[in-house]
A and B are shown apart, each in its own frame.
Chain A
Amino acid sequence: MILAAQRFPPPEFSETGHQLPGFIAPAVRALLLERLDIVVLVVALILAAWLALRYRSRRGLVWLSIFSVVYFGFWRKGCICSIGSIQNLALGLADSSYAVPVIAIVFGLVPLVVALFFGRVFCSSVCPHGALQDLVLLKPVTVPVWLEHPLRLIPYTYLGLAIIFAATGGGFIICQYDPFVPLFRFSGSAAMVLTGVGFLVAGIFIGRPYCRFLCPYGVLLGLAANVAKWRIRITPADCTQCRLCEKSCPFNAIEPPPVTAPVRNLAADKRRLAWLLAAAPVIIALVGWLGGATGTTLARKHRLVNLAERIQLEDSGKINYATDATAAFRASGTPAEELFAAARQLQHRYILAGRLAGIWIGLVIALKLITLATRRPRHDYKADRIRCVACARCYRSCPEELKRLGLPVPE
């Protein structure tokens, strides 16, 4: 109701007879549905973990994906979702006056806790965003590894920005720019609908483009999944290194064994690693500084800062007309200096938050560069702990799995 009122201001003149609808309390049914959501989430997560890790059923995950898209997506309109709930949590941590809804806490934390034990089974078939993209994947095109790595920087950046804006009251950008919720609701700006359709069309060829190259919650799930005890194992027996699974993953999440040939220039590799280790603090400091410098620009998203800047422009004569917002502010009698003081305080908060986000992004850049300069011992094909979304596509490509199931193994 409140959002609708903001989107469509009431007619200007009372003589039109327009009656403003009053605010309504949420119906009891809405609260019951929230509890049902929590139950469904928990059951779906357990089912997904069982299907992916124990029963090893791709078909089961597909049916669970369809259920999640229908239930969490089209029926519950994509809200609340775990991806957006991290903003509620960030705001709750930054602003003690904001009471985080219980459902946001559950949707934000439970998939993370599950990922700590079972990997990203939430992504596999419970998240409606991921499930929808997974279902449309028809003809996967392998994104080159050299491109895959750097593009995965973007979700870390998006996560940093989303937390800045949420924690400082600037808005929930993940929700504002969610490409799939407008599709679930059959409503929203055409730009966002088209963005969602664009992601789906791209998703026909590129596996889960939103999950891999944008989703900020996927970053957290990946970090949690990195320490998971139970996770996807491609082969139920010993790996024969037949390479059949190599291209079964449309998400570039299967790591091949290391090169068997001797390393040609170990000294150069060591030098590179040393340089990168030495450069890491510089990179972190530099990106941290840059993040702080963007603080005043980011702060403009906050309505108070926006209003203060507009008032300043009007006062300085650079704009010669008032908006409804500035006129209402002036009519309130609040001294502009009070507004400026509040806006300045917000700008300082954004600068600090921008600096922290910059440090975070710098740290990710440095660690990724260092990771790319090191070799980890690996003897067979394994699902990458962070990137694997537990979709179970790789199972049926493994001859050992086919043998286990009693199915014919191709020549």
Chain B
Amino acid sequence: MKSFLDQLAFALALATGLFVILLAGVLGFNEVHGKISTLVNSRQVVRLHDELRRQPKDETLKQHIRQLDLQLRQETFYRLSLSHNATRALLGGLVLFLLSAHWTRTRRQRSPDPLAWGARKPEQERRNARWAQVGVAAGIAFVALAAVLASPGRLPEPLPVEIPASDEEYQQAWPAFRGPTGAGNAADANVTLPWTIRWKTPVPLPGMSSPVIWSNSVFLTGASATEDRVFRLDADTGKLLWSAVVPGPKPPAPKATDDTGLAAPTAVTDGRRVYALFPDGMVGAFDFTGKPVWSRNIGPLDNSYGYAASPALYRDRLLIQIDRGDAEEGQSKLLALDTRTGRDFWEVKRPVAGSWTSPVIVARNGQPELLTCANPFVIAYNPVDGAELWRVKCLSDDCAPSPVMVGNVVIAIAPNNAVFGVQPGTTNVLWRMDEGVPDAPSPVSDEQRCYFIDPNGLLTCLNAATGKSVWTQELGEHFYASPTIAGGTLILLSRKGVAQLLATGESYRLLGKFEFGEECNASPVPRGRRLYVRGKHNLFCVESAAK
């Protein structure tokens, strides 16, 4: 006969057992439901954060994230609280269940009866255990194999270490749009008249880009509506060594005026590879044999007039300035690609309107800075990580001339408005010149003075430190090519293809002229006693007779 206590214990064990099962079910549901979106693993939050990084000023997005954050936070803490209380209740129920079940079991326990157990069969047990052991080992091996198959593999091995070109090699070359220093100045060149044409080679595809030189190679770009090409010519003979198409599906050609064309950005080289950017968004890297190393589409780059900014290079970073639309539209950015792979190193938004200027690498206090110009800012960045170093607000309109640094003054141009001398590292405008302001050609400097030419052919020489005019001269021609200095000679190449050579200095002095006989818009490139000039149809190499 069961006592009342026995019956109570049995009933309690049943009730608490059911209670535990029910609560475990609630906890399980809470867990499964909670997995859908929690504060710490919400994919939606991660994506919204990513979106916010791209559009940091989007207030609607911020508000959305705030609401979601609050909602998920409340849900998370509600679930935690529920879990906390349920765990306490669960353990309480379990303790009651165990006590009551223990009572019930103790009352029903019987003495063991070995005779009823039957004989043990250790040999059979061992044999079965061996096979089960093999089965479990196979199970572990299966799990391990599944892990191997699920493995993403090892991370890529490091790219082969490249020996970068030396500073000497850089200085002897003309590796980018404005030369090795970004100032358009080749101090050790000597291209005084008279000249003879050493060679003249037809350019297979049109383009406004300038040639770049490394050792005895000349690199040039050209494009049509159907292809983007890079050319390598022998600097001594003008022989076309190879012509390579940028691999990959070519995007549609963007709209561009005839004055900009489809190949305005100048190529850039580090002495190991040559990198070319085209207005359709294609970027390609080629080794010196013409073999493509990588290519990708970073587009779209379309803006009014067409895209014209040439890329710059700093160590293993290919720096591309993409300024489009109005400043408020937030479409402008600066992009750094890995020269070895073409992958993004970094990307920063720029608070500027569309521009046609090229970024220039300069050294200030021994540190590299990437100078950029666009309405309304001159902004300097760290080329390593894209961090903004300083900015000066002074520019306006459609900026096309690239900046130049003379001593401790950065000269920037707001077309048809003013030329500014700004103090780098500050927000100061040191001086302003309102006359003779260029529209497209970049300024050039002989380290003391700065020379620039306006759309009417007015050449201005001013003191770079003070901004005071030293002299001016009407040249009576129209120029797109930026002035270049070779040794002490200022070279001005008009659109009609007439090169005027002037002596740099405190007064205007014409040294002579040379006619190429065809339209010229690209900036001339001096090297040694030679000058490389891209005409509308031909690439010229003229050589000075001077020793």
Contact = CB atoms under 8 A, between A and B. Distances in A.
- Asked if A pairs with B, the answer is yes
Interface of A: 7-9, 11-13, 16, 135-136, 138-139, 144-151, 153-154, 157, 182-183, 186-191, 193-194, 197, 200-201, 204, 242-244, 246-248, 256, 258-259, 287, 290-291, 293-294, 296-298, 300, 305, 308-309, 312, 315-316, 321-324, 327, 330-331, 333, 336-337, 340-341, 343-344, 347, 358, 361, 365, 368-369, 372-373, 397, 410
B491 interface: no
B98 A138 contact: yes
Contact of B94 (A11, A12, A197): A197
9 contacts: A139-B105, A190-B28, A197-B24, A256-B120, A287-B137, A296-B153, A315-B344, A340-B158, A365-B137
Contacts of B517: none
Contacts of B90: 193, 197
Contact of B133 (A135, A344, A369): A369
B506 interface: no
Contacts of A13: 62, 66
B28 A327 contact: no
Task: Tell which of A150, A256, A309, A373 has the most Cβ of chain B within 10 Å.
Answer: A150
A10 to B, nearest CB: 10
Contact of B40 (A9, A194, A305): A9
Contacts of B27: 190, 193-194, 197
B148 A242 contact: no
- The 9 residue pairs across chains A and B that have the minimum distance between CB atoms: A146-B128, A333-B385, A190-B31, A150-B136, A243-B114, A149-B129, A321-B50, A297-B151, A297-B147
Interface stretch (B81-89, B172-180, B364-372, B526-534): B81-89
A294 B145 CA distance: 8
Contacts of B154: 296, 344, 347
B150 interface: yes
A151 B135 CA distance: 10
Given A157-B140, A182-B87, A190-B83, A321 B46 contact: yes
Nearest to A373: B130
B91 interface: yes
B132 A258 contact: no
Contacts of B148: 290, 293-294, 297
A153 B46 contact: no
B279 to A, nearest CB: 22
A146 B24 contact: no
Nearest to B70: A11
B112 A138 contact: no
B152 A296 contact: yes
B4 to A, nearest CB: 22
Contacts of A312: 155-156
Contacts of A244: 112, 114
B60 interface: no
Contact of A186 (B34, B40, B87, B133): B87
Nearest to B387: A333
Taking chain A's interface residues, is the majority helix, strand, or loop, or is none over half, making it mixed? helix
B231 to A, nearest CB: 30
A258 B140 contact: no
A13 B145 CA distance: 46
B155 A347 contact: yes
Contacts of B205: none
A183 B140 contact: no
Contacts of B343: 315-316
A136 B98 contact: yes
A268 B490 CA distance: 102
A149 B111 CA distance: 28
Interface of B is mostly: helix
B285 to A, nearest CB: 16
B24 A340 contact: no
B152 A309 contact: yes
B384 interface: yes
A12 B69 contact: yes
B125 A145 contact: yes
Given A182-B87, A190-B28, A290 B98 contact: no
B122 interface: yes
Given A146-B132, A150-B132, A373-B130, 9 more contacts: A187-B80, A197-B20, A197-B24, A204-B98, A290-B141, A316-B343, A343-B155, A365-B133, A373-B126
Interface string B19-43: 0100010011011001000011000
A266 B90 CA distance: 55
B314 interface: no
Contacts of A341: 158
B53 A372 contact: no
A369 B438 CA distance: 89
Contacts of A194: 24, 27-28, 31
Nearest to A243: B114
Contacts of B132: 146-147, 149-150
Nearest to B128: A146
B431 interface: no
Interface hub of B27, B83, B105 (most chain A Cβ within 10 A) = B83
Contacts of B40: 7-9
Nearest to A146: B128
A187 B87 contact: yes
A410 B115 CA distance: 14
A290 B145 contact: yes
B342 to A, nearest CB: 10
B66 A246 contact: no
Contacts of B144: 290-291, 293-294, 358
B547 interface: no
B111 A153 contact: no
A153 B133 contact: yes
Given A197-B24, A290-B148, A324-B49, A259 B122 contact: yes
A97 B515 CA distance: 73
B102 interface: yes
Contacts of B39: 8-9
A139 B97 CA distance: 13
B65 interface: yes
Nearest to A276: B130
B123 interface: yes
A187 B123 CA distance: 47
B346 interface: yes
A213 B147 CA distance: 22
A13 B129 CA distance: 61
Contacts of B112: 244, 247-248, 397
B405 to A, nearest CB: 24
Given A151-B136, A322-B50, A369 B130 contact: yes
Nearest to B33: A190
B140 A153 contact: yes
Nearest to A187: B84
A12 B65 contact: yes
Contact of B155 (A149, A150, A309): A309
A102 to B, nearest CB: 32
Nearest to A6: B40
B147 A190 contact: no
A134 B94 CA distance: 14
B160 to A, nearest CB: 12
Contacts of A327: 49-50, 53
A208 B160 CA distance: 56
A330 B122 CA distance: 64
B155 A308 contact: yes
Contacts of B136: 150-151, 153-154
Contacts of B101: 138, 204
Contacts of A16: 66
A410 to B, nearest CB: 5
A191 B91 CA distance: 15
